[in-house]
Amino acid sequence: MDLGELSSIGGFFALRTFDAAAPEAHGVPTSAPEGPGTPLARLYAGDDHPLTDRVDTVERALRTPERRIAVSIAQLGLAARLWSIAVGSAALFGELPVLDPDHLYWAPDRGTPDDLWLRTPGAPEAVRTVPGTAARIQATVSVAHLEPLADAFCRDTSVARGLLWGNAGSALAGAGRQLDSWARNAGRIDVAERAAVLVRELLRDPPLAGTVRGPGLRRATCCLYYRVPGGGLCGDCVFDHPPARVVR
């Protein structure tokens, strides 16, 4: 698996690697002495500090009037990273990295592509892989990450689970669109076709079934971005026009 080729699709598809015994050997930025971040397994087990820090950062950056908006945007971004890496590698190489929560590290104070790091046993090419089927991707992303991640975000702030799964469906559809554009520009129609099949299969079954609709994969729920000052509507928003604000 060529992680360099995967990252050429875009920053959301990039996956950094490091050897826990010698993190500098695999390109951990010297400007980040704290290392590659925190294993996501620790977050899923109840250590909410990294997630709280990310939501705080989003809340400040977007000046959100409600914390649940920052929760939604933060979750959407991380879901997009996970889907992009998994579906991108499966479409390109027919396999995907083993993204075990114990070995996948998250640095919430950094943006893409420096926010996710995979611990490998030695050289970067030692990344363990599994077959790139829709079932494997669902187990890797939805089950191992997005379900416990939803629990963690809901511990921070009360937010509808349907909204979070709508974000996950939208993020998957977005990854598919970017893959399709890159593949067609690169003359890799085979990659575009594999990506389309994978996205369709993943959106067909729970928990993503019904989260996006129609040939344009328009989402069925709103991520609340329209409530950010100056935010407007996303390209796949369920609304045609921003809803009127209710004055209480």
121 within domain boundaries: yes
pLDDT of res. 26: 45
Is residue 240 one of the residues assigned to a domain?
A: no
Q: Residue 185 is part of which domain span?
A: 3-227
Q: What total of structural domains would you count in the chain?
A: 1
Residue 246 lies in a domain: no
Do the domain assignments include residue 248?
no
Tell me, what's the pLDDT at 203?
Answer: 96
pLDDT in tens, 15-25: 998 876 665 54
Sign of torsion over alpha carbons 167, 169, 170, 176: positive
Profile the chain (248 residues) by mean pLDDT over runs of 10 residues.
93 88 48 70 94 95 94 96 98 96 93 88 76 97 98 95 96 97 97 97 94 91 92 89 63
For residue 25, the model assigns a pLDDT of: 42
Cα dist. 171→35, 199, 241 in Å? 27, 11, 21
On whether residue 136 sits in a domain, the answer given is yes
CA-CA distance, 111 to 202, in Å (whole number)? 26
239 within domain boundaries: no
Q: What is the pLDDT of residue 22?
A: 60
**Looking at residue 32, what is its pLDDT?**
41
- What pLDDT does residue 248 have? 39
Domain presence at residue 232: no
